[in-house]
């Protein structure tokens, strides 16, 4: 138990240290359904983030995770079933229900103990989250918590998220907390207000607020939070973060400040400085703390990143500043290994033992996949100091399944990357609409696809539909254009897969005139005329999957595929 706790605390500390965005208790994220600081398992569409990311890497957003089995104290001769998590989805790959189960004492039956239910509207937006617990005495489900999401018009971002709780044996919902969001025309959160329910006056009382500002490239340049003195009805500063970018639109530094009520001003406390390789990957970052006695910045700790030739992050190395020695000393490190298909195979964490002057193992994870990528097994080891060897703690089995009907997504575009809406699509001689259609996978043979559109050349292709090949881009030539096709090759999109935001970068002498982001079904998600060479688009509230980016620039047109995942 102590080993597992130590491993957990080590991983948690690494996660907090390596997170680029400084968070506070009330506002962990800036957009979408993860706007409040929630446990990872309760964040709606982000709930199966690791499994979704695994599927997205293989370009199979519809290979769904049906269940996760966790075996505790697993050995070759003895195993103990521990927990099981089962998922239900809709055709849009949204989680509809998650049921959590525990194994019985005789290890022969699973027992329900908790479930989450998610509701979506016709625009695929989350409208409710419901948490239930199973009453073993009365053998029935009881509501415990619900979260309601409200939107303005057809907007994709929630304008209000309200949380309610319900006690055992009661059918009355009681207000818990509420968040109101305001957005700019680009979908960026500009203000978030936190409320709590006051049962004495039966109304919501505002308690905290956060103001966020952006530059012309939609990059955050400041976050300022306040709390409200309810007695005096005044706002009081809490903390502020200032973000500075270099000429390549990369985050160069973060300055954290707090409000000094005595001096009546914002005071610096922490600064992070970020460094990058020539190809734009983050090579590391350093944290410095402000010494108010001497009015100077003092080294605190730093992290250095290492990548392989394919861009996989294979090492994180932490160093702590020793003030008395005036030098950096080893802290911890994480190493990763990937297979030729860029699947993670092994992750190992070490911590530096200054007494032994050697590295000590903390945890090790082995990732294994079957040939069909339908089962992913994660073996979790910890280092045993007595035997000086790795000891297996548990195994987790992630089961992925493919629906009987696979989604065949047809994107009909012209050579400039623009969606053609009036196209006629014939699949195996039957008329269909562009966008998403569902068909059974053929054991042998192909689907014959023919596309026609007024003013464009027709196109015919044969397509093998399987779980790894569900999206087809068909380009029709515009007959009215005699000029040569304009294509640009230096459009830089990162990170990809994207989790919170995606950055689009062109050389400084090329301007992005029009930028559009489409879902795999052809729905316009985002559109802007930035008139800059660098743009940031928030994707934190988008469902995991594949999206098409259409960029119209002063040098030509380009279509890029973007994979959205959630950590």
pLDDT tens for each residue of 392-445 = 888 888 776 655 666 677 878 776 666 787 788 888 888 877 766 767 766 556
Return the H-helix or E-strand segment holding 408: strand 405-414
Return the H-helix or E-strand segment holding 360: strand 358-369
CB of 411 closer than 8 Å to CB of 474: yes
Q: What is the 3-state secondary structure (H, E, C) of 21-78?
A: CCCCCCCCCCCHHHCCCCCHHHCHHHCCHHHHHHHHHCCCCCCEEEEEEEEECCCCCC
d(CA 80, CA 348): 25
Q: What is the mean pLDDT of residues 47-57?
A: 33
pLDDT tens for each residue of 80-100 = 677 888 888 776 667 788 899
Dihedral pair phi/psi, residue 71, rounded to 5°: -105, 120
pLDDT tens for each residue of 527-542 = 888 877 788 888 877 8
pLDDT at 218: 86
Considering the chain, what is the average pLDDT of its residues?
79
Give the pLDDT band of residue 332 (cuts 50, 70, 90). very high
Owner of token pair 């090329």: 510
pLDDT at 343: 81
Give the pLDDT band of residue 363 (cuts 50, 70, 90). very high
Q: What is the mean pLDDT of residues 158-178?
A: 94
**In the sheet that 430-432 helps form, which strands lie side by side, from edge to edge?**
430-432, 424-427, 447-452, 459-463
Give the pLDDT band of residue 502 (cuts 50, 70, 90). confident
pLDDT at 376: 77
Structural domains of the chain, with CATH: 55-120+308-403 (2.40.128.720), 405-478 (2.60.40.1120), 492-564 (2.60.40.1930)
- Specify the higher pLDDT residue, 383 or 430: 383
Give the pLDDT band of residue 566 (cuts 50, 70, 90). low
CB of 99 closer than 8 Å to CB of 41: no
Indicate whether 66 pLDDT > 70: no
CB of 317 closer than 8 Å to CB of 329: no
User: 13 in helix, strand or coil?
Assistant: helix
Q: Smallest Cα–Cα separation from 272: which of 294, 243, 249?
A: 243
- Specify the higher pLDDT residue, 229 or 430: 229
Q: What is the mean pLDDT of residues 156-166?
A: 94
Q: What is the mean pLDDT of residues 125-151?
A: 94
Q: What is the mean pLDDT of residues 26-36?
A: 25
Q: Smallest Cα–Cα separation from 522: which of 471, 476, 451, 556?
A: 471
* N- to C-terminal Cα separation, the chain: 26
d(CA 370, CA 376): 7
CA angle (283, 328, 268) in 5-degree steps? 75
Alpha-carbon dihedral sign for residues 105, 108, 113, 114: positive
pLDDT tens for each residue of 443-496 = 556 788 888 888 888 888 887 776 556 677 787 877 765 433 344 456 778 777
Q: What is the mean pLDDT of residues 536-559?
A: 78
pLDDT tens for each residue of 508-521 = 778 888 888 887 66
- Specify the higher pLDDT residue, 196 or 14: 196
The two structure tokens encoding residue 489: 């090759």
pLDDT at 464: 75
d(CA 178, CA 223): 20
Strand partners, 563: 546
What percentage of the chain reaches a pLDDT higher than 70? 76
pLDDT at 27: 27
23: Cβ contacts below 8 Å, ≥ 6 apart: 29, 37
Give long-range contacts, CB 8 A cutoff, 24+ apart: 207-215: 208/26, 208/238, 209/235, 210/26, 210/27, 212/30, 212/188, 214/184, 214/186, 214/188, 214/190, 215/245
CA atoms within 13 A on the CB side of 172: 2
CA angle (379, 381, 383) in 5-degree steps? 170
Give the pLDDT band of residue 64 (cuts 50, 70, 90). very low
CB of 40 closer than 8 Å to CB of 29: no
């Amino acid at each position: 138990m102590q080993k597992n706790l130590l491993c957990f605390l080590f991983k948690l500390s690494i996660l907090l240290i390596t997170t680029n965005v400084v968070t506070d208790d009330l506002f962990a994220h800036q957009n979408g359904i993860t706007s409040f600081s929630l446990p990872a398992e309760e964040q709606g569409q982000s709930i199966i983030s690791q499994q979704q990311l695994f599927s997205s890497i293989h370009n199979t957003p519809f290979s769904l995770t049906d269940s996760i089995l966790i075996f505790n104290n697993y050995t070759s001769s003895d195993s103990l079933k521990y927990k099981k998590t089962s998922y239900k989805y809709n055709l849009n790959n949204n989680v509809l229900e998650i049921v959590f189960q525990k194994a019985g004492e005789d290890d022969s039956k699973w027992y329900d103990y908790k479930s989450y239910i998610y509701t979506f509207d016709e625009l695929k937006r989350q409208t409710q989250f419901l948490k239930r617990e199973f009453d073993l005495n009365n053998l029935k489900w009881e509501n415990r918590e619900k979260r309601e999401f409200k939107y303005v018009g057809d907007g994709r971002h929630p304008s209000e998220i309200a949380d309610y709780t319900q006690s055992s044996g009661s059918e009355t919902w009681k207000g818990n907390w509420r968040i109101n969001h305001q957005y700019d025309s680009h979908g960026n959160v500009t203000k978030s207000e936190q409320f709590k329910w006051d049962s004495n006056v039966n109304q919501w009382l505002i308690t905290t607020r956060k103001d966020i500002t952006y530059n012309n490239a939609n990059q955050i340049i400041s976050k300022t939070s306040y709390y409200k003195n309810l007695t005096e009805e005044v706002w009081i500063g809490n903390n502020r973060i200032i973000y500075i970018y270099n000429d390549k639109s990369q985050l160069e530094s973060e300055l954290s400040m707090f409000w000094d009520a005595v001096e009546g001003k914002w005071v610096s406390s922490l600064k992070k400085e970020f460094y990058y390789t020539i190809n734009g990957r983050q090579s590391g970052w350093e944290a410095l703390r402000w010494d108010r006695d001497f009015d100077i910045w003092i080294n605190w700790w730093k992290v250095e990143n290492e990548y392989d030739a394919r861009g996989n992050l294979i090492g994180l190395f932490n160093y702590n500043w020793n003030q008395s020695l005036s030098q950096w000393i080893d802290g911890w490190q994480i190493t990763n290994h990937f297979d030729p298909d860029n699947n993670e195979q092994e992750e190992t964490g070490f911590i530096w033992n200054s007494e032994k002057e050697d590295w000590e193992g903390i945890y090790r994870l082995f990732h294994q996949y079957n040939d069909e990528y339908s089962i992913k097994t994660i073996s979790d080891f910890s280092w045993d100091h007595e035997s000086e060897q790795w000891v297996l703690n548990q195994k987790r089995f992630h089961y992925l399944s493919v629906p009987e009907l696979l989604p065949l997504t047809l994107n009909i575009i012209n050579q400039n990357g623009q969606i053609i809406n009036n196209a006629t699509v014939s699949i195996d001689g039957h008329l269909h609409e562009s966008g998403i259609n569902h068909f059974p996978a053929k054991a042998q043979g192909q689907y014959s696809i023919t596309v026609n559109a007024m003013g464009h050349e027709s196109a015919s292709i044969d397509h093998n539909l399987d779980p790894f090949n569900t999206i087809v881009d068909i380009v029709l030539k515009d007959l009215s254009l005699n000029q040569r096709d304009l294509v640009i090759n230096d459009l830089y999109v990162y990170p990809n897969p994207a989790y919170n935001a995606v950055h689009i970068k062109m050389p400084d002498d090329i301007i992005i005139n029009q930028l559009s982001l489409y879902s795999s079904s052809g729905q316009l998600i985002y559109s802007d005329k930035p008139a800059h060479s660098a743009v940031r688009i928030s994707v934190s509230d988008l469902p995991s999957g594949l999206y098409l980016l259409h960029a119209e620039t002063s040098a030509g047109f380009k279509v890029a595929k973007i994979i959205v995942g959630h950590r």
